[in-house]
Each structure stands twice: as C-alpha cells, then as structure tokens.
Amino acid sequence: MRFTTAATVLALLSASGSALTAPPWPDVPGFARPDRSFVLLGDSTTKCDGGWGPGFCSSTLNITTITCINLAVSGGTTGWFFESGLFKTSLAVIGAEASSGHRPVVTIQYGHNDQKFAPPESMGRNLTTIVKSVRAVGGEPVLLTSLTRRNFKSDGTIDDALADWAAETIKVAKANKVALVDLHAASIAYTEAIGPDASHRLN
C-alpha cells in the first residue's frame, strides 16, 4: 500500500479550505475513489474544528461518494482508546467497511495527550498494537505525526515539545512498514513560514 504519501495527504489537506497553500506535490491518481473509505483515529487535533479531520471529511473528500468516519476524540490517548472500548468499536467499524467491499484507509495520530503522562515508548507500543489490529480486520493504516502546537519562541520558531513523540511515530511506521504522514514537520514548517499572527488566526 503506497498510494498514501505525506505529499498526498498534505495536498488533500491544502484543498480542504484550510490556509495551507497548494503545494507542488505530485497528484496521486485514485486516492479518493468510491471503493475506498476513510476512518480517522486520534485526538482533538483530528477531531475538532481546529483539527484537520472535519475539513478532510467534508471538503477534501466528496462525502456523497466517499465514506469518511471521524472517530477521533478530544483528549484521546492511545491508552484511553483501549480502555474506553473505542478501540474495539473502531475495529468493528473498520472490519465492516472492509467486508462491504471498501478499502478502509485508517489514519492514526496521537501524541498531544499521551505526552502528558507517559514516555514516547509507551505510545509507540500502543501504536504498534493499533496498526497490527487495523490490518488484521482489513484496514490500511496510515500513521501521522502530531500536528504542531502554535507556541512560538521570541525568534519566531516553534517551541516544540512533541519532537520525541513524532520520532516515536516515525519509528513505529518504519518498523511496521506503515505509510507515514509527517504532519509534525510539515505543520512546523508551515506555521513558521506564516508566523504567529497568521498561525493564531487558524483558531
């Protein structure tokens, strides 16, 4: 599965009505086809208006033809995902999509809340479990590194506290040969390019 690249998803995100300018990414044909569906897992940076999920589902994809199910939850951690039972429910949803003839692409993005109480390796182990389980029910996992926070240092660069969690996500992606979107790096580059004022207007 190589149809989803960082470039593709960022190109799609840029078309979603967010402020990202159109990047010169190659067009990857057939990304959003009716025989695919999308299931989004993660925290508020995927779920809420400030996150990328709603724009992705409602604007980037043609939701009259493409199923896009946003199961991200504000405050979500990988551990909470397991303990709340949402993991089990999500696997059932993904399995149902797969057996209905869709090829469910499952985006997985954590870190913002995981980092508040556990080292990166804890999230990494859980991501590995999620990736394997998603594949076992017929889904195609895509790992995303955490969308950056918009905390700027006085020199105009991002004060980044998520680097180790992004690195852990990349490690899990490589170890399990999972498609990766390095949203952390891309969003830092973007927010630094547009600066603090424009970044905060994204609220």
Ligand X SMILES: *[C@@H]1O[C@H](CO)[C@@H](O)[C@H](O)[C@H]1NC(C)=O
Q: How big is the site for ligand X, counted in residues (CB under 6 A)?
A: 13
For every residue of 72-136, DSSP letters joined together read --TT--HHHHHHTSHHHHHHHHHHHHHHTT-EEEEEEE--TTGGGTS-HHHHHHHHHHHHHHHHH
Instruction: State which of residues 24, 27, 49, 64 lies at the interface with ligand X (CB under 6 A).
Output: 64
For residues 88 to 117, the per-residue mask of contacts with ligand X, x marking binding by CB under 6 A and - elsewhere, is: --------------------------x---
Residue 42, both tokens: 């993660």
Instruction: State which of residues 65, 89, 99, 100 lies at the interface with ligand X (CB under 6 A).
Output: 65
Comparing CB distances to ligand X, the nearer of 62 and 99 is 62
Comparing CB distances to ligand X, the nearer of 4 and 77 is 77
DSSP for residue 59 = I
Using CB under 6 A, which of the segments 71-79, 134-142, 154-162, 179-187 binds ligand X? Answer: 71-79
Burial status of residue 128 (CB atoms within 10 A of its CB: 0-12, 13-18, 19 or more): middle
Using CB under 6 A, which of the segments 35-43, 44-52, 77-85, 152-160 binds ligand X? Answer: 77-85
